[in-house]
């Protein structure tokens, strides 16, 4: 019987010839991860269960990134729990400050999450790795604890939805715009517990950084996973990074989908998600003049080198508008170094932006950019719920890096061509 990517991956990991939507299956986990907020809860559950060792110390990742470098005493204690647990169980994939990065940028960069894997993480944006062709999804901390002990987890096999993008992207339109466009069309629960598949001629030419942005925000549509079939672009990305063997899966041509959406995006301009929902999407040209107080360029969605290059292209030779704070956060130490070598960091500092060491920081309202009452921010992050980046009376507008940088220059939500003239 024809099968989708997610059904094939789950069947192989369950040791079954095939699985079906809504079936409950127990599968082998290839990699499990937690961060400084979620892993401490998993460690406590691990110890309550009386476990003496993890299933495989090479297949667990502990990444302090949310309140790191330590924001306060409480965050220091949480980070220490990860550090001590990693030492106790010989977990080599513990990433200390100075070697770390935002988890969903760091793990693909390190070649630890790979095509064909089943990956679980105690963080909702674990679905990022679907861009590599992996069944990757977020779980609760107790589920992470169970997986760290047994190396297995159960799932209900999701129904699949296909999203086909046709046409040619306009300048300044990237993966962030495509996923926001989807969410704007189907809503934040439009793919609830579904496997989203992104395909079509637009996706075929999309760089890996943009693919990762798309899969990252599948959860914002309520999805279980957001998948892109591996191809030459995938192979080029993972081939030199992979720490172990991997496998490419693709859906059968006549596989069954619960729904298929096809869109020609040739006329699509960059889009922005207005407060207070990722589904409140408008093209930037449709938004009335909106003054802002802060811009954040970074996060697990848009903190990669390619994103920083786009932002630097807009900011080069220009200044951040008076009265606006612009915070740039490279997603990993490696990205930070590469951005320095390319002169991007100098560009940001010359533009009077602040550049941070890798951290999730302001994305979750942690630190490094909290909003006061009445303030508004344009951010390349993935959520803009009430109070997400600070006070409940603040507002967050989600955009791609080009729109964010242009908005920083003009002090209002802006199309990049208003700054660079193209």
Q: What is the pLDDT of residues 48-62, one digit of tens each?
A: 999 999 999 999 999
**φ, ψ for residue 88, nearest 5 deg:** -65, -35
Distance CA 89, CA 102 (A): 23
pLDDT in tens, 113-156: 999 999 999 999 999 999 999 999 999 999 999 999 999 999 99
Say how far residue 6 (Cα) sits from the centre of its chain: 19
Exposed/middle/buried for 170, CB within 10 Å: 0-12, 13-18, 19+?
middle
- Pick from 237, 223, 200: which is nearest to 125 by CA? 223
Confidence of residue 422 (pLDDT cuts 50, 70, 90): confident
Output the pLDDT for position 99.
92
The domains of the chain, with CATH numbers, are: 5-262 (3.30.499.10), 273-420 (3.30.499.10)
pLDDT in tens, 271-323: 999 999 999 999 999 999 999 999 999 999 999 999 999 999 999 999 999 99
Output the pLDDT for position 1.
84
Q: What percent of the chain has pLDDT over 90?
A: 99
Global pTM reads 0.96
Q: For residues 101 and 87, is the Cβ–Cβ distance under 8 A?
A: no
């Amino acid at each position: 019987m024809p099968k989708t990517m997610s059904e094939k991956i789950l069947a192989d990991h369950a040791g079954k010839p095939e699985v079906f939507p809504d079936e409950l299956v127990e599968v082998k986990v290839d990699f499990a991860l937690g961060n400084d907020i979620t892993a401490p809860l998993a460690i406590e559950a691990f110890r309550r269960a009386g476990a003496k060792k993890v299933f495989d110390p090479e297949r667990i990742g502990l990444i302090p990134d949310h309140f790191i470098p330590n924001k306060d005493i409480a965050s220091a204690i949480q980070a220490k729990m990860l550090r001590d647990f990693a030492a106790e169980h010989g977990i080599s994939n513990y990433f200390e400050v100075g070697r770390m990065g935002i988890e969903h940028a760091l793990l693909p960069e390190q070649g630890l999450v790979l095509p064909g894997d089943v990956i679980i993480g105690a963080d909702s944006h674990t679905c990022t790795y679907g861009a590599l062709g992996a069944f990757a999804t977020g779980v609760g901390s107790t589920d992470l604890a169970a997986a760290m002990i047994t190396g297995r987890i159960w799932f209900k096999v999701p129904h699949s939805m296909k999203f086909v993008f046709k046409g040619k992207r306009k300048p300044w339109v990237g993966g962030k715009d495509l996923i926001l466009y989807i969410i704007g069309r189907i809503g934040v629960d439009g793919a609830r517990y579904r496997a989203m598949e992104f395909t079509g001629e637009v996706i075929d030419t999309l760089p890996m950084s943009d693919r990762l942005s798309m899969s990252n925000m599948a959860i914002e549509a309520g999805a279980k996973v957001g998948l892109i079939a591996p191809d030459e672009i995938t192979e080029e990305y993972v081939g030199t990074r992979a720490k172990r063997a991997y496998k490419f899966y693709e859906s059968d041509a006549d596989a069954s989908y619960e729904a298929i959406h096809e869109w020609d995006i040739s006329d699509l301009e960059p889009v922005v998600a207005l407060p207070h929902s990722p589904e409140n999407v408008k093209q930037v040209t449709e938004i009335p003049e909106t003054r802002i107080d802060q811009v954040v360029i970074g996060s697990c969605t848009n903190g990669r080198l390619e994103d920083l290059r786009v932002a630097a292209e807009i900011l080069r030779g220009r200044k951040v508008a008076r009265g606006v704070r612009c915070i740039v956060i490279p997603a990993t130490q490696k990205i930070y170094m590469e951005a320095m070598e390319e002169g991007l960091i100098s560009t940001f500092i010359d533009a009077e932006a602040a550049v941070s060491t890798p951290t999730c920081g302001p994305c979750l309202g942690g630190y490094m950019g909290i909003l006061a009452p009445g303030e508004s921010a344009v951010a390349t992050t993935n959520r803009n719920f009430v109070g997400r980046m600070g006070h409940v009376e603040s507002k967050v507008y989600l955009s791609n890096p080009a729109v964010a940088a242009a908005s920083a220059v003009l002090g209002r939500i802006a199309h990049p061509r208003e700054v660079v003239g193209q």
